[in-house]
Amino acid sequence: MNHYDAIVIGAGPAGGAAAYELARSGARVALIEKQKLPRHKTCGGGMPMMVSQVLQLEEMHDLAPEAFVEADTRFMRHTYLFDDPVLSPMNPEGTDLNLSLWMVRRSVFDNALAQRAASAGAELRDELALKTIESSTSGPLTIRAEGQNGSWEATADTMIGADGANGISAKIVGLRKERALAIAIEAEVPHRWGEGHADLRPDVCHLEYGAIKKGYAWVFPKGDHLNVGAGVFRPNRQSGRGDASVRDKLQTAITDYLTILEVPHRMENLIFHAHPLPIWDGQQTLHALNGRVLLAGDSAGLINPFFGDGILHALKSGQIAANCILSGNQNQYSYKIAEEFKSNFDAALKMARFFYQWPALCYKHGAKRPTATRTAAQLLCGDALFENVAKRAMRRLNRALKSALSGANPPAPELE
């Protein structure tokens, strides 16, 4: 039976980044993926261009952004109930900012990361799904996976569970029994640039806040298509997975968005993909079996509760997991993750609770402000932190709320 220093489960951004980090440092590592690569991943595929630094693309020269970036967006167009539009730059004139959101097709991006890890020495095995993890108090783990071509068994000193929102690693080792799940749906719609609404441009991403209760809808530009989606990011108990009415509402928001932006479409030709998002809901233990199993990315619940983005955090947590293994500090892993994410995500969660409760007010006094797009881009890029921005923003929004509540037509909150 083969023995590895680490087996990484799942070839998304978390697993791809972890396997690469381990392999390039000389560790014996296997990267196991349930699906055949390249595989579709339900996602908007928008990510801050600072992933370039996280992946050290400029230093390593083994992966060019041109291989996966389909559009480089530098403007956001915000609407409320598809009305009252504001189109503003992420880098306003007079600032020395250089922020952008890269738009990728996840099948291409994730496969590029997995192949990069394989080139660095990781043994990449797709079409194999993790089934069991056996462990004694000391000694290696025995990991069994199954695929169409039979079963596979190996031993490893450590395992990284990077198997996403629907993965089983966390469950097997008894972690994250309580988790907050948001839900989002997307569709890819073929598009020819120059057609449709004048603001449909490859450098603009579109965000709509009123059409979805406790969530938002988006249109992200890609090479030859638009990624159009909608999600409920502060779900209440009823709006989880399997709730057909939530699915209907999200699909309606998507088709309404297409209609408003004058994108020709036929409902019967749209392929909707739905997927849960395990959003940050407070610090949790993310390592088990005396540090031999670590969770990264969605499996660890590292989705920003305000924006619902998770790619950057998956990459970072994969790298943190790999580095803990390389330095023999696996028992420090949960602490290291908290150190990286906790204060920022806790503040984002506070903002999310307010924003999704009072979306009309937050649109008027938040998203519509001339500086809002820049701040949103800075927050997404890690150029600004929620923990620094939230206090000031909440003070302003609370003032606006107090004044609105004492007026003749007080706003109604979204229902819990």
Ligand X SMILES: Cc1cc2nc3c(=O)[nH]c(=O)nc-3n(C[C@H](O)[C@H](O)[C@H](O)COP(=O)(O)OP(=O)(O)OC[C@H]3O[C@@H](n4cnc5c(N)ncnc54)[C@H](O)[C@@H]3O)c2cc1C
- Which CB, 164 or 365, lies closer to ligand X? 164
The mark string for 113-132 relative to ligand X (x by CB under 6 A, - otherwise) is ----------------xx--
Q: How far apart are CA 299 and CA 280, in angstroms?
A: 11
Minimum gap (Å) between residue 196 Cβ and ligand X: 21
Q: How far apart are CA 113 and CA 37, in angstroms?
A: 11
Instruction: Compute how many residues bind ligand X; rule: CB under 6 A.
Output: 40
**Residues 6 or more apart from 271 whose CB is under 8 A from it?**
187, 188
Question: Residue 161, interface with ligand X (CB under 6 A)?
Answer: no
Question: Residue 305, interface with ligand X (CB under 6 A)?
Answer: no
- Which CB, 165 or 361, lies closer to ligand X? 165
Question: Residue 275, interface with ligand X (CB under 6 A)?
Answer: yes
The token duo for 48 is 């801050």
With contacts defined by CB under 6 A, name the span among 67-75, 298-306, 320-328, 370-378 that binds ligand X: 298-306
Beta strands (DSSP E) in 191-241 are 204-208, 215-221, 225-232
Minimum gap (Å) between residue 364 Cβ and ligand X: 25
Using alpha carbons only, how large is the chain's radius of gyration in Å?
Answer: 21
Question: Residue 47, interface with ligand X (CB under 6 A)?
Answer: yes
By the 8 A CB rule, do 256 and 187 touch?
Answer: no
**Residues 6 or more apart from 391 whose CB is under 8 A from it?**
none
DSSP 303: B
Minimum gap (Å) between residue 168 Cβ and ligand X: 5
The mark string for 234-273 relative to ligand X (x by CB under 6 A, - otherwise) is ----------------------------------------
Candidates 23, 29, 32, 324; binder of ligand X (CB under 6 A) is 32
∠ Cα 235 237 243 (to 5°): 80
Q: Quickly tell me which residue has 């109930």 as its tokens.
A: 81
The token duo for 131 is 């089934």
Minimum gap (Å) between residue 340 Cβ and ligand X: 15
Q: How far is CA 121 from CA 26, 116, 149, in A?
A: 8, 9, 23
Question: Residue 21, interface with ligand X (CB under 6 A)?
Answer: no
- Residues within window 172-191 making contact with ligand X, judged by CB under 6 A: 184, 186
Candidates 45, 221, 305, 366; binder of ligand X (CB under 6 A) is 45
What's the distance, CA 76 to chain centroid?
Answer: 18
Catalog residues that contact ligand X under the rule CB under 6 A: 9-15, 32-35, 39, 41-47, 129-130, 162-164, 166-168, 184, 186, 229, 275, 277, 297-299, 303, 309-311, 314
